[in-house]
Structure 1
Amino acid sequence: MKNKVLFIIVLNQIDLLDDLLLKFSDEVGQAATVLDSVGMAQHLSQLDETKIFSTIKPLIISDHTENKTIYSVIPEEDLDLARQTVRSVMKDIGKPDTGIMFAVPVLFQEGIRE
């Protein structure tokens, strides 16, 4: 088995989801799974004021209410291409409320077609 990684993107700008998936499929050529998700800051911002200090609540309030978490098992040699593909759609991933991406090694896989 070639070395594989689990490539994960947490997309805050969900309006980019379709473009990202289409480009990822075209450029990287791998399937992906999309999950609805909510970040900790988003969840905490909805808590009752008695559970969270009102002085820090404005620091964690986000403009969006949901995320999409995308994950795909890809060959390690495609990792740079996958990162470039995400950056081409998301533009500046370093800005707040844009998203994050990371990868972790896959020790084994079953049920994934090569």
Structure 2
Amino acid sequence: MKGRDTVHALFLVLNETEYLDDILTAFVDIGVKGATILDSQGMGRALLDNENKQIPLFGSIKSFLNNSHPYNKTIFTILEDDALVDKVVQTVKSILGDMSKPGVGLMFTVPIGKVYGMRDD
């Protein structure tokens, strides 16, 4: 790992899973060396599907969740420099469009202190 830039973990909770292949292909094209993809489910959906139906949910939220994707994909990757973080963020935004719209997904980065188990190319 290069010592000049901050190393980041980037997380993308992808609700619109039909874009998964496009995102992974773009990651390879821009130099992301690897990523991990997990099947995931949001808290609202888990509560809605919970057998304990006594949990109150407002009608509009319940209606939204009934029409949303029941499961999503959580992608995370380690990005070795700030320039690559910027490329990945812009690429994901160009594929998904307006991420502030409900139901698209959530993306964030977290700075990492040390990474073990990755080769230093």
**2: CA distance, partners of 1:44 / 1:57:** 14
**2: CA distance, partners of 1:67 / 1:33:** 14
Which of 36, 42, 46 is equivalent to 1:43? Answer: 46
Residues 51/23 of structure 1: CA separation in 2 closer, same or farther (3 Å cut)? same
**1: CA distance, partners of 2:32 / 2:77:** 11
* Deviation, structure 1 residue 105: 0.8
Please say if 1:96 is aligned against 2:98: no
Residues 58/46 of structure 1: CA separation in 2 closer, same or farther (3 Å cut)? farther
Tell me the SS of whatever aligns to 2:44: helix
| Gap runs ≥5 in structure 1 | none
Partner residue, 1:9: 12
Tell me the SS of whatever aligns to 2:37: strand
Tell me the SS of whatever aligns to 2:69: coil
Root mean square deviation of aligned Cα: 1.7
**2: CA distance, partners of 1:82 / 1:89:** 11
| Contact kept in structure 1, 2:10 and 2:78, CA below 8 Å | yes
* Deviation, structure 1 residue 76: 3.3
Percent identity between matched residues is: 35
Task: Give the length in aligned residue pairs.
Answer: 113
| Gap runs ≥5 in structure 2 | none
Aligned-partner residue type, residue 87 of structure 1: K
